[in-house]
Amino acid sequence: MSCIFCKIINGGIPSHKIYEDEDTIAFLDAYPAGAGHTLILPKAHYADVMNTPDAIFNKTMSTAKKLAPVITKAMDADGFNLFLNNGRAAGQVVDHVHLHILPRNTQDNLKIGLPQKPYGQGEAEKIKQSIINCLRENHLDREKIKEQIKQNAPQGKISCAKAFELAQLYGISHARMGESLNQLKIKIVKCQLGCF
């Protein structure tokens, strides 16, 4: 595994670790934007948000929520930023999903605000509609697959080949479902009816 965070987790590369539990770990960012800048991540390797199982992502967020006020107090800060960069376009540098906690002081002069401008005439309505359409499509995909599973296996268990066939039938793609075909296949095979 060439992932630098995995090497840190395994102790191959030293770090300033501040917290660890069964599933998550937190250490100081080696290139901090400010004192106490901390990274919180799952111990298992997941490249990004969409590849991280919900339970693990929730635990990572929960660790961040627990640590944020502690770090803020320890740094004698006034507040904190909690953020995550997902994908190169968003500034993700290491492909092992991680959250940032950055303690902030009123007078720290850090500028991480984004430039903002209002939508043009009718633009927000169009954007809202295209997002709602995507949500609806994903929902329909899931409903169709559930129906197919019901028809093909009363116990909710279907063969790997059938799951693959269904996924292909509905053109499930990474972009539409936020998960790879293979992951979806495994999920369908493992899933009992009703737990989608």
Interface segment toward Zn ion; rule CB under 5 A; list 37-45, 77-85, 110-118, 144-152: 37-45
Count the helices and strands in the chain (H runs, E runs). 6, 5
User: What residue type is assigned to position 17 of the chain?
Assistant: K
Q: Which is nearer to Zn ion, 51 or 138 (CB)?
A: 51
Q: From the CB of 190, what's the least distance to Zn ion, in Å?
A: 24
Q: Fill in the DSSP letter of residue 84.
A: -
Q: How many CB atoms lie within 10 A of CB 180?
A: 15
Catalytic residue among 98, 100, 139, 174: 98
Q: What are phi and psi of 79, to 5 degrees?
A: -170, -170
Q: Fill in the DSSP letter of residue 35.
A: T
Q: From the CB of 41, what's the least distance to Zn ion, in Å?
A: 8
The mark string for 45-74 relative to Zn ion (x by CB under 5 A, - otherwise) is x-----------------------------
Residue 3 interacting with Zn ion (CB under 5 A): yes
Q: How many residues bind Zn ion (CB under 5 A)?
A: 5
The mark string for 67-106 relative to Zn ion (x by CB under 5 A, - otherwise) is -----------------------------x----------
Rounded distance between C-alpha atoms, residue 175 and residue 53, angstroms? 17
Which of 75, 71, 65, 73 has its CA nearest to residue 108?
Answer: 75
Q: Do the Cβ atoms of 165 and 173 come closer than 8 Å?
A: no
Q: Which is nearer to Zn ion, 5 or 80 (CB)?
A: 5
Q: Which is nearer to Zn ion, 5 or 27 (CB)?
A: 5
96 belongs to the catalytic site: no
Rounded distance between C-alpha atoms, residue 36 and residue 19, angstroms? 13
What angle, 0 to 180 degrees and rounded to 10, lies between the N-to-C axes of helices 160-169 and 123-152? 150
The mark string for 6-25 relative to Zn ion (x by CB under 5 A, - otherwise) is x-------------------
Q: Which is nearer to Zn ion, 21 or 147 (CB)?
A: 21
| Catalytic residue positions, numbered | 98
Contacts to Zn ion by CB under 5 A: 3, 5-6, 45, 96
